[in-house]
Structure 1
Amino acid sequence: MTLQVKISDIAIWFKHVESPQLRERLRALPDEEYINLETDGVVGRWIRMKTGKDGRPTEAIRPEGSMKRVWSDWFKNRRGELVSIREVQLADDYLINVSKLFEEWDSPEDEAAFRDL
């Protein structure tokens, strides 16, 4: 089953995400935390929007970087369309997360011993 979201704003509002699992994943993101999503075959970075001044969470993510230009173009030209959406993990993000598993090897002694390898 292909998960979809409607192009309805310059941001993606959680209520427009069809998948309950992805919706909950997005809600769990802290303010200004990023997530990589593939939308209609294009991978880009999205940022959880800040909580409002009234203390209520903003239930949306906004595109960042190149994805901002892509989504803006889609919003102008494809508003109302449903596009596929799924979370993806980039190699850089994967390596950062895996490196946290081996913190016991991250010492000045190990750096000195193995830096030339």
Structure 2
Amino acid sequence: MARTAVRDVVIWVKHIHGGDVSQRVLGLRGGETVDLVVDGVRGAWRKMDDGRDGRPTTGIRPIGRMQDFWRELYSSRRGDVVTIELPQAEDEGASERSRLIFAPLARTQEARKSALEALLSLRGDSYRNTGVVITRDDMHDRELDREGL
């Protein structure tokens, strides 16, 4: 079991002490995710992207519901030491599912082109006005609004 201090809105590898969590995080590429159990709460963390000059960034950022949990820890228990560990073996199926959900985006020209085509294909699928005019009061059927109260 490793420990880390709540010092920032992200967790830096140099602040993780003990256990094999830091090696697991260092083995990730930018954008990949890992499930961690922090202070008894399991959630997904995303490895920060490498810098513009190519240097690796050795931090992980909470995502999803873990972001709310870590933000609460940061505001209420800043400076405290919390436990951080990899999930147990029976929980690995959930880790694989989150890896599929939060897979890093491919940053190739083909991926950008297909994403743009998918976005542009939605062009005609938006809301169409049928010409019917309805007031707010009629829409919500608010008797008190009609009376001016």
TM-score range, shorter chain: 0.7 to 0.9
Give ranges in structure 2 of 5+ residues lacking alignment: 99-149
SS at match of 1:84: strand
C-alpha contact 2:35 2:95 (8 A) present in aligned 1: no
Can you give the 5+ residue segments of structure 1 that lack an aligned partner in the other structure? 97-117
* 1:69-110 deviation digits (Å, cap 9, x = unpaired): 1001111111110001101144334589xxxxxxxxxxxxxx
Secondary structure of the 1:62 match is: strand
Distance 1:58 1:65 in 2: 21
Change beyond 3 A, Cα 1:8–1:95: closer
Equivalent residue number for residue 51 of structure 2: 52
- Seen in structure 2, the aligned counterparts of structure 1 residues 95 and 54 have a Cα distance that, compared at 3 Å, is closer
- TM-score, structure 1 length as denominator? 0.74
- The alpha-carbon distance between structure 1 residues 31 and 95, as it changes in their structure 2 partners (threshold 3 A), is closer
| Mapping for residues 47-86 of structure 1, pairs under 5 Å | 47-86=46-85
With normalisation by structure 2, the TM-score equals 0.59
The match for 2:42 is 43
Report the number of matched residues.
96
Runs of 4 or more above 4 Å deviation = none
Percent identity between the aligned chains? 34
Whose RCO is larger (CA < 8 A, sep 6+)? 1
Q: Which amino acid aligns with 2:77?
A: R
